[in-house]
């Protein structure tokens, strides 16, 4: 999935010839030099995807300028229409990460409890007893002990 900002950047980034992508579909344009009339060197820009074509121009630069100055509303409107779906995907991801974060935080707290118990037994110098084991099991599985 390409995000909207990447698509917007692609729509507004010129190629090596200084040519913007197609104003309608956003696919790469090409300067059509294949079929100039015999006695002229006229050029036009053609979209390789949807076939949108400029008028014949007296130079490649003029054809590029003609293509680049076309209104790009339809491609931009398509991006805007896509935005709510992408926002929904991002919100789902945010929810997913929040749940994962909360789960990992609980896991860290549980492990801290176990380590705290080990540390207190070691510091006290007393042997590991059944009470210690019960406390350890409670720290390891706090929901089962409750």
Q: Which residues bind Zn ion (CB under 5 A)?
A: 22, 24-25, 27, 47, 49-50, 52
- Do residues 43 and 60 lie in contact, with contact meaning Cβ atoms separated by under 8 Å? yes
Give least dist CB 79 to Zn ion, A. 15
- Do residues 75 and 24 lie in contact, with contact meaning Cβ atoms separated by under 8 Å? yes
Closer by beta carbon to Zn ion, 24 or else 67: 24
Give least dist CB 21 to Zn ion, A. 8
Q: Whole-angstrom Cα distance, residue 37 to residue 23?
A: 26
Closer by beta carbon to Zn ion, 27 or else 138: 27
Give least dist CB 15 to Zn ion, A. 14
Closer by beta carbon to Zn ion, 27 or else 70: 27
- Do residues 117 and 136 lie in contact, with contact meaning Cβ atoms separated by under 8 Å? yes
Give least dist CB 49 to Zn ion, A. 5
Based on the number of CB atoms within 10 Å of its own CB, is 71 exposed (0-12), middle (13-18) or buried (19 or more)? exposed
Q: Which residues pair with 29 in a beta bridge?
A: 47
What is each CA distance from 54 to 10, 23, 47, 62, 104, in whole angstroms?
A: 20, 11, 9, 10, 58
Closer by beta carbon to Zn ion, 66 or else 132: 66
């Amino acid at each position: 999935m390409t995000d909207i900002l990447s698509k917007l950047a692609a729509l507004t980034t010129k190629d090596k010839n200084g040519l913007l992508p197609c104003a309608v579909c956003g696919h790469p344009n090409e300067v059509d030099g294949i079929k100039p009339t015999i006695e002229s060197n006229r050029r036009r820009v053609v979209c390789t995807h949807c076939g949108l074509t400029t008028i014949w121009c007296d130079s490649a630069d003029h054809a590029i300028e003609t293509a680049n100055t076309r209104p790009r509303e339809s491609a931009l409107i398509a991006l805007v229409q896509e935005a709510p779906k992408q926002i929904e995907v991002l919100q789902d991801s945010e929810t997913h990460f929040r749940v994962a974060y909360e789960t990992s935080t609980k896991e860290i707290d549980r492990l801290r409890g176990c380590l705290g118990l080990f540390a207190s037994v070691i510091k006290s110098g007393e042997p590991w007893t059944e009470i210690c084991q019960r406390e350890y099991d409670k720290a390891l599985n706090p929901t089962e002990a409750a």
